[in-house]
Amino acid sequence: MTDADAAPGSVGVVVVAAGSGSRLGAGVPKAFVRLHGRPLLAYAVDTVARLPHLRSVVVVAPLDHAAPRDAADPVWEGVELPSGAVVVAGGAERTDSVAAGLAAVDATCDVVLVHDAARCLTPLDVFERVVEAVRRGAAGAVPGLPVVDTVKSVDAEGVITGTPDRASLRAVQTPQGFRREVLATAYGSGLRATDDAALVERCGHHVVVVAGDPLAFKVTTPDDLERAERLLARAGRR
Ligand SMILES: Nc1ccn([C@@H]2O[C@H](COP(=O)(O)OP(=O)(O)OP(=O)(O)O)[C@@H](O)[C@H]2O)c(=O)n1
Ligand SMILES: C[C@](O)(CO)[C@H](O)COP(=O)(O)O
């Protein structure tokens, strides 16, 4: 990150890494679980660091492993933060963690991305598509993939209430990108959601979907971690 990157169009990225990973059940917070010897977070940060016009990186870590980052804390071993990156403590839910990260983003950034550390293999071009869509005027942009299964809505008893046309459905991923003031207002609204776009949508903004990537899958379960291990082994990465 250089002064040249402070030009209009600068990008800030909040990497949320404060979740416990209860579904993975690895005994350490999920973002710090090792994948080929390095924390999931390390892969996410490596990609973020390659993003053009990057001005500000904020990593939101679990309270026990957050600011001030303890250099001797072994969970961080293998994570190479870009110079100027900031580490802050997250909260009980993703909404709390994003809000904490957003508060620490450099105010000169006009585009802010929120990225799940758990989507650790997301390719750089997904980030670039999201930034490009916001630069072109969208209030927000999220990567998404067509839904391959037939999806049903059900009531509390499990009785099917509808079969949405899957042509209109997308499974969304991260990074989710927004004009900074739009995201700040959404997070200042007191609304809560599991993803950033949902908050921005509820504040009345249009958010567009750009092409996602199967590699942007979220490591949620042990099977996902095995899949990530296989993909890295196949790519010969460490
Ligand atoms: N309080 C939280 C919860 C989640 N996250 C982050 O948000 C992303 C998506 O959350 P998810 O994968 O659902 O993570 P966990 O909440 O850790 O998973 P689980 O629901 O299995 O406990 C992850 O990178 C996670 O670290 C966060 O920063 N703070
Ligand atoms: C933000 C997100 O990754 C988009 O798919 C997702 O909403 C994270 O939370 P989840 O509870 O694991 O769906």
List, for residues 12-54, the tens digit of each pLDDT value.
Answer: 999 999 999 999 999 999 999 999 999 999 999 999 999 999 9
pLDDT at position 4: 45
Q: Is residue 123 part of a domain?
A: yes
Q: What is the pLDDT of residues 123-165, one digit of tens each?
A: 999 999 999 999 999 999 999 999 999 999 999 999 999 999 9
Residue 48 lies in a domain: yes
Please indicate, yes or no, whether the overall pTM of this predicted structure exceeds 0.90: yes
Q: Name the pairing type of β-strands 140-146 and 207-211.
A: parallel
Q: How remote is the CA of residue 3 from the centroid of ligand 2, in Å?
A: 33
pLDDT score recorded for residue 12:
98
CB 175 within 8 A of CB 126: yes
For ligand 2, the distance from its centroid to the CA atom of residue 195, given in whole angstroms, is 6
**Count of C-beta atoms within a 10 Å radius of residue 237:** 12
- For residue 68, what pLDDT is reported? 60
pLDDT for 1 equals: 60
CB 32 within 8 A of CB 74: no
How far does the centroid of ligand 2 lie from the alpha carbon of residue 15, in Å?
13
Query: How would residue 184 be classed by pLDDT, with cut points 50, 70 and 90?
Result: very high
CB 175 within 8 A of CB 117: no
Q: Which two tokens stand for residue 29?
A: 């917070």
Whether residue 150 lies inside any domain: the answer is: yes
* 129 alpha-carbon distance from chain centroid: 14
Q: Which atom of ligand 1 is nearest to the CA of 218?
A: 12
Domain residues for the domain of 120 are 11-235
Q: What residue owns the CA closest to ligand 2's atom 9?
A: 194
What letters, b where the CB count within 10 A reaches 16 and e where it falls short, cover 119-132?
A: bbbbeeebbebbbe
Q: Identify which ligand lies nearest to the alpha carbon of 93.
A: 1
**The domain that contains 40 carries what CATH number?**
3.90.550.10
CA separation for the pair 32, 17 (Å, rounded): 8
**Is 76 within a domain?**
yes
Q: Is residue 89, in this structure, part of any structural domain at all? A: yes
Q: Give the DSSP per-residue string, 157-222.
A: TS-EEE---GGG-EEE-S-EEEEHHHHHHHHHT----SSHHHHHHHTT--EEEEE--GGG----SH
CA of 102, nearest ligand number: 1
Between the CA atoms of 119, 95, 55 and 37, what dihedral angle is there, to the nearest 10 degrees? -30
Give ipTM to 2 decimals: 0.97
Q: Are 224 and 217 in contact (CB under 8 A)?
A: yes
Residue 5: inside a domain: no
Give the tokens for residue 212: 């996602």
Domains of the chain: total? 1
Whether residue 221 has pLDDT greater than 50:
yes
The answer to the question of residue 16 being in a domain is: yes
Look at the chain and count its residues: 238
- Give 74-80 contacts, CB < 8 A, sequence gap 24+: 75/28, 75/29, 75/32, 75/39, 76/32, 76/39, 77/39, 78/34, 78/37, 78/38, 78/39, 78/42, 79/38, 79/39, 79/41, 79/42, 79/45, 80/42, 80/45, 80/46, 80/49
pLDDT band with cut points at 50, 70 and 90 for residue 7: very low
pLDDT over 70 percentage in the chain: 93
**pLDDT over threshold 50, residue 6:** no
Instruction: Output DSSP code: residue 137.
Output: T
SS3 content of the chain, % helix, strand, coil (to 5): 35, 20, 45
Q: Is 174 in the pocket of ligand 2 (CB under 6 A)?
A: yes
Q: Is residue 209 part of a domain?
A: yes
